[in-house]
Structure 1
């Protein structure tokens, strides 16, 4: 059933802390926030975008580390410092001209539940809160920040029949 849902996707949206990162927030002595991102997740997102599937971020926190990572990956759909993720979702859907039914959102914790309940393909990372897993149609094997996003990207591309041709075109 999950793979059928992936075939209709027009947009992948992600939370950040606990999804693109392990959920740890690191501050240096100067008080600057640092985040650690997984390079394999980054390649997965690039592959997804290469296949024509836009990627966006909806997160409650703001950080320059995230802005730099999005710039590095070419992700321009960034809604950070969001107080109401459902309002941000509505804005993104309107901006991208896609329906909630053809949108996936990846979450890990309680603030993600309202968005997960409004999209067609809610996804949880392996170490997500139990209520988030219950709201998801699919849960990754990998933990947030440790390859979960790459797993999602590959699964979407394979379900859509785009994986082999994409790998052949880019890496053969």
Structure 2
């Protein structure tokens, strides 16, 4: 088993990871995306435990900006084609090593990052070459709880998850779905 106690940053792709990968574009050019509330809860719990969060995505979308703000994502980078360069900036700013980073991606543009981070992950609907590059492939698909599944695995290896749940149920943890 990988040492998940070292993970201090979780970085996410969007399309195919936080969403099911479908793009809905209205006649006005507005892009619509569907996000999973369980993923949002997982991200909120990760932040509660002190894990930093980031989104690095190749597309630009106001929906992603709104969701990232709502979830208090620490870093948001959109319209990025060289994702590894951005991750390197975040890594340096936080003083982290690659082994302290989890990245969740689903397609070939995620491979450069997946090949260097300590805990590369993918949703079940990722393309095969990506799945082969990962230490963990979720049972669930992107946009259907895969992010939550992977975050839960990290948190159960880092924290006393039962205590987090008790804090939540007692009202001490304020999270967003």
- Alpha-carbon separation, structure 1, partners of 2:166 and 2:118: 30
Structure 1-normalised TM-score?
Answer: 0.96
Q: Which of 141, 148, 153 matches 1:143?
A: 141
Matching of residues 115-134 of structure 1 within 5 Å: 115-134=113-132
1:95 corresponds in structure 2 to: 93
Give the Å deviation of 1:89: 1.1
The equivalent residue for 2:153 is 155
Q: Is the Cα–Cα contact under 8 Å of residues 39 and 147 in structure 2 kept in the other structure?
A: yes
Where has structure 1 moved over 6 Å in runs of 4 or more? none
Instruction: Write the distance in 1 (CA, Å) between the matches of 2:166 and 2:102.
Output: 26
CA RMSD after TM alignment? 0.9
Whole-Å separation in 1 of the counterparts to 2:74 and 2:87: 15
How far apart are 1:124 and its partner, in Å?
1.0
Show the counterpart of 2:84: 86
Counterparts of 1:1-172 in structure 2, within 5 Å, are 1-2=1-2, 5-172=3-170
Counterpart-to-counterpart distance in 2, 1:128 and 1:165: 33
Following superposition, the deviation at residue 170 of structure 1 comes to 1.1
Q: Report the 3-state secondary structure (helix = DSSP H, G, I; strand = E; otherwise coil) of the residue aligned with 1:69.
A: helix
- Long gaps (5+) in structure 2: 171-177
Number of residues of Structure 1 aligned to a counterpart in Structure 2: 170
